[in-house]
Amino acid sequence: MEYRTLGPTGLLVSRLCLGCMSFGEAQRGTHEWTLDEESSRPLIRQALEAGINFFDTANMYSNGSSEEFVGRALKDFAARDEIVVASKAYFPWRGAPNTGGLSRKALFQAVDDSLRRLGMEYLDLYQIHRWDEVTPIEETMEALHDIVKSGRVRYIGASSMSAWQFSKAQYTAQIHGWTKFISMQNQVNLIYREEEREMLPLCADMGVGVIPWSPLARGRLTRPWGETTKRSETDLVIKSIYTKTEEQDRKVVEEVARIAAAKGVGKAQVAMAWLLQKPGITAPIIGATKASHLADAVAALEVRLSAEEIAALEAPYVPHPVAGVASPRGTQGLTLSVM
């Protein structure tokens, strides 16, 4: 396993991060396809044995049960000082005022709840899951700074938003002497490359680490076109992000298959290798529901794509509608969406 520092810090993370949205009680939350605790534990152990030390979850994943599963497994399988545990907050945990968003009140409650579910004294990385249109960014950044200074969190990060919003957050923290974000968790894959326009150059300029979600486009880059799974049939994000560009996306998937066949490797390995070779990418967040998913991701670390292969993979791409960013918040809770 390879390791890199995350953003402008000395924190070492594996080149792959295990995304833990796949783990949780299916009857809780909005993900019907998640693995129960007994099925989750072997995958978490497999990741650790492969050298993965970076684990990402969120308070909204299966209504907090993802954090519960991950916390118990990591306590049994790993030394706390060797692993990097990340979680996120923004989406509501109940349909009531103040049970979500990025206000000082909500963040203080959310981080305490996450630590309780994880059974941990601190989080290595605490991320805002989206931009909050209601709460002033000054309130959010000061609250995050105070949470870091309290010892409950070591570093802070952000997730999908507009580049101007991320820049505003960083500037706000800088002028007040508050803790700045060290990472950006956004969607980057072969069939969604809109982040290349502004966010990726901004992160490179700021020295911010990039830890993309959905690196395999919810599995679309790994399967024959038209083949479905329980997740693809029930995942609302797939329907909201990829349906408007299906014909052109199909050409990308077919090119992945062609290059994979020529190299004698799996499609997942080619799609992941493209992302791993992309400048500025620290650690793609891989979701796994089978041992083979993890094995393919680890194997991708050894796959090298030529400049010609990269050009062929990128050639069919067309601009996509911006997706997975905006989630306006009302007074009675938040609009649930994406990863």
Cite the active site residues.
61
- What's the rounded Cα separation, in Å, for the pair 25 and 284? 24
- What's the rounded Cα separation, in Å, for the pair 101 and 90? 4
Contact indicator for 34, 22 with CB cutoff of 8 Å: yes
Write the CB contacts of 62 (distance below 8 Å, at least 6 apart in sequence).
21, 23, 24, 25, 26, 28, 29, 31, 34
Question: First vs last Cα of the chain: how many Å apart?
Answer: 25
Which of 64, 68, 53, 59 shows the shortest CA–CA distance to 108? 59
Label residues 202-239 b or e (16+ Cβ within 10 Å = b): bbeebebbbbbbbbbbbbbbbbeeeeeeebbeebebbe
Write the CB contacts of 228 (distance below 8 Å, at least 6 apart in sequence).
none
- What's the rounded Cα separation, in Å, for the pair 123 and 54? 12
Which of 118, 34, 116, 29 shows the shortest CA–CA distance to 73? 118
Which of 59, 68, 118 shows the shortest CA–CA distance to 91? 59
**CA distances to 20, 201, 239 from 335, in Å:** 21, 29, 16
Q: For residue 136, is it left (φ>0), alpha (ψ between -120 and 50) or beta?
A: beta
Q: What is the dihedral of CA 181, 213, 293, 256, to 10 degrees?
A: -130
The SS3 of residue 10 is coil
- What's the rounded Cα separation, in Å, for the pair 279 and 252? 20
